Amino acid sequence: MLLNNIALFLQIVEKGSLTAAGREAGLSSTTVSERLAALEAHYGVALLNRTTRAISLTEEGRTLVEGAKQVLGEVADLEASIRHGAETLSGPIRISAPSDIGRTLVSDEINRFLSDHPAISVDLMLSDGFVDLVGDGFDIALRFGTVIDSSLRVRSLGLRRRVVCAAPSYIEKHGAPDKPVDLKQHNCLVMRFGGNLDNVWRLGRGAMPQIVTVRGDRVANDGALVRQWCLAGHGIMLKSELDVGPDIRAGKLVELLADYAPPATPLQMLFPPSRAQPRRVRALADRISAMFQTAEPLQQD
């Protein structure tokens, strides 16, 4: 009964309310409330702060969330091993990825993974902004750049170039910049990461980097949409080679300012700060990691 109540507690946290968790579990709000009270009585602490409009985790509740995912995942693995044999993987995986590579590389690898492991289900959230890995219940998150939260477990997926590029139709109409400062005279397509605009482009390497504040008539928090705008000839963008490499090789986009290419950016795979991961999560993480290791880099002239 304790494990069932812990699982219900996780549902409450993920759904954001007792009522929503009850609907998901097929239980009345009264039953959910009683089982939450029993769980809090078992531990002798409050796990949630509840108001008429919202719930939030107490520090003890946050600790339980982090540990419960590990424990329940291991229980699911154990049950799968007993019921279906040691080689069978089953259960849910939640993963967050940037929108562009999420729709292409990551989605394609998930399709292949699920074909090999039909008892697993994957919940993929595409976002170019900040995600709360622990609070939002993710098992894996893929992110570009340096990891600020030192409590997270990190697997490096290598360094990837960022590329200034535009469609041939844009270059034909507006010309191409010869040096970074020329970008000020062009329409640049700007990404928004959460509350931050990526409109300060740091180009060049070594002791003489060139920093340019760009502007344009289109801003979006979706990298795939920014790439679509660029392909349509609406402006110049700065994107990872993983996003634009196939388009450049196909001639749909043209790399600009190659002599001023910025330093490569790390791609990271992040995990919650638990001591162990369910086998299904490790298996998918290994597959995604191997996929990125073999992803074709964009050759620099």
166-183 pLDDT, tens digit per residue, is 999 999 999 999 999 999
Average of per-residue pLDDT across 70-98: 74
Summarize pLDDT for 204-238 with one digit per residue, the tens: 866 578 899 999 999 999 999 999 999 999 999 99
Summarize pLDDT for 177-211 with one digit per residue, the tens: 999 999 999 999 999 987 789 999 999 866 578 89
Asked which of 57-61, 244-248, 284-288 is least confident by mean pLDDT, the reply is 57-61
Average of per-residue pLDDT across 60-77: 77
Average of per-residue pLDDT across 155-166: 92
Summarize pLDDT for 95-124 with one digit per residue, the tens: 999 988 999 999 999 999 999 999 999 999
Tokens of 143: 């992110």
* Interior/surface letters 102-134, b for 16+ CB within 10 angstroms, e for the rest: bbebbeebbeebeeebeebebeeebbbeebebb
52 confidence band (pLDDT: 50, 70, 90): low
Domains and CATH numbers, the chain: 1-80 (1.10.10.10), 89-158+264-301 (3.40.190.10), 162-263 (3.40.190.10)
Q: At residue 84, does pLDDT exceed 60?
A: no
Amino acid 275: pLDDT: 57
Summarize pLDDT for 17-28 with one digit per residue, the tens: 888 888 888 888
Average of per-residue pLDDT across 266-289: 86
**139: which residues sit within 8 A by CB, 6+ positions away?**
69, 93, 94, 95, 271, 272, 277, 278, 281
134 confidence band (pLDDT: 50, 70, 90): confident
As a whole number of angstroms, the distance between CA 3 and CA 14 comes to: 17
As a whole number of angstroms, the distance between CA 188 and CA 213 comes to: 10
Beta-strand runs (E) in the chain: 48-50, 55-57, 91-97, 120-126, 140-144, 153-160, 162-166, 190-193, 196-197, 200-203, 210-213, 219-220, 237-240, 254-256, 265-271
In terms of Cβ atoms closer than 10 Å to its own Cβ (0-12, 13-18, 19+), residue 180 is: buried
Amino acid 88: pLDDT: 67
Q: What is the pTM of this model?
A: 0.67
